[in-house]
Amino acid sequence: MKTPVLLLAAPLAAILVLGLAPLVLVIVWSFCAWDSATYWIKPEFSLAAYGAILEAGRWSVFLSTLGKAFLASAICLIIAYPTAYAMYFLAGRTLSVVLAALLTIPFFTSYLIRSFSWRLLLGRTGVINTLLQQAGITDAPLDWLLFSNFAVIVGLVASYLPFATFPILLSMRRVDTIALAASRDLGAGFWTMVRTVLLPLTYSGVFAGFLFVFVMVAGSSTEVQMLGGAGASIVSVMINDVMRVANFPLAFAISTLMLVIVFGLVLIGDALFGLSSLFEERGQ
């Protein structure tokens, strides 16, 4: 028994020191007061930081962030599921590698470059508006293509699609293909097989993909600032603005609230979709 304990000691210590300890400090400091005279934290219990979330439009930024995160995650799942199906069930090994590379190659460049490339595509003089006008579909550039919620969602989906695809692909690899073949032998059509057999067996991967994209979107800022315009905001941008004035308890309170939301989603996902099954041995 000593060997497994020793093997677990190092990673557990790393998780506690590098992961859990900073989160605990953030939560504790979120309940402290802020001294506006010294721009520092007062070591006294206070709920003022949480009350400040409801002021000056901060709550609307929270709701907007959650809306963007849910919408971008849902769209990613709609695209990722058939992509994962094609990679595992239809494409050969070489083509699957090529598709996986195409999904990950954009991450070899910075978020800033990727977001700016969408400005070149969606702008008034961008590629899309130019093609639409040359084809006679529009008479003038479409202003809503850029600096809008539409542009933000497009940029977010393009950035975080792989985070939805690979968990679904992993869950599909754990499906017993005999069950799929049996459903076809019993007369189920393709869509019936997908809806009644494959989809329920991959719920854990679907929710994991949703959760990954949701967390990434909630913590993103580049796509929103580059594609949403000057007035666009998201929780991560709001935290940066609060940190600039050194209101640390408020920044920590915003982070803690997002942490509670994400942790709640993890618990819901495990209860409804068996998220923990991704970590089980195949066949158990």
Q: Tell me the torsion sign for CA atoms 69, 75, 78, 80.
A: negative
Q: What are 20-62's pLDDT values in tens digits?
A: 888 888 899 899 888 777 778 888 888 888 888 887 678 888 8
The contacts of residue 201 (CB under 8 Å, 6+ apart) are: 171, 174, 175, 179
| Confidence bin at 3 (pLDDT 50/70/90) | low
| Confidence bin at 211 (pLDDT 50/70/90) | very high
What pLDDT score was predicted for residue 212? Answer: 92
Q: What are 236-272's pLDDT values in tens digits?
A: 888 888 888 888 898 999 999 998 998 898 888 888 8
Q: What are 127-146's pLDDT values in tens digits?
A: 999 999 998 888 888 888 98
| Confidence bin at 112 (pLDDT 50/70/90) | confident
- Say if residue 103's pLDDT is above 90: no
Residue 41's region, left for phi above 0, alpha for psi from -120 to 50, else beta, is beta
| Confidence bin at 275 (pLDDT 50/70/90) | confident
Structure tokens at 47: 């709920």
- Say if residue 284's pLDDT is above 60: no
Between the alpha carbon of residue 91 and those of residues 52, 77, 191, the distances in Å are: 52, 19, 19
Between the alpha carbon of residue 165 and those of residues 6, 55, 89, 158, 246, the distances in Å are: 35, 38, 14, 12, 38
Choice between 9 and 147, residue whose per-residue pLDDT is larger: 147
Rounded Cα gap, residues 276 and 148, in angstroms: 37
Rounded Cα gap, residues 99 and 37, in angstroms: 56
Q: What are phi and psi of 40, to 5 degrees?
A: -145, 175
What pLDDT score was predicted for residue 90? Answer: 86
Q: Tell me the torsion sign for CA atoms 169, 175, 177, 181.
A: negative
| Confidence bin at 280 (pLDDT 50/70/90) | low
What pLDDT score was predicted for residue 162? Answer: 92
* Helix, strand or coil, per DSSP, at residue 32: strand
Q: Contact, 72 vs 213, CB < 8 A?
A: yes
Express the helix, strand and coil content of the chain in percent, nearest 5 each. Answer: 75, 5, 20
What pLDDT score was predicted for residue 160? Answer: 92
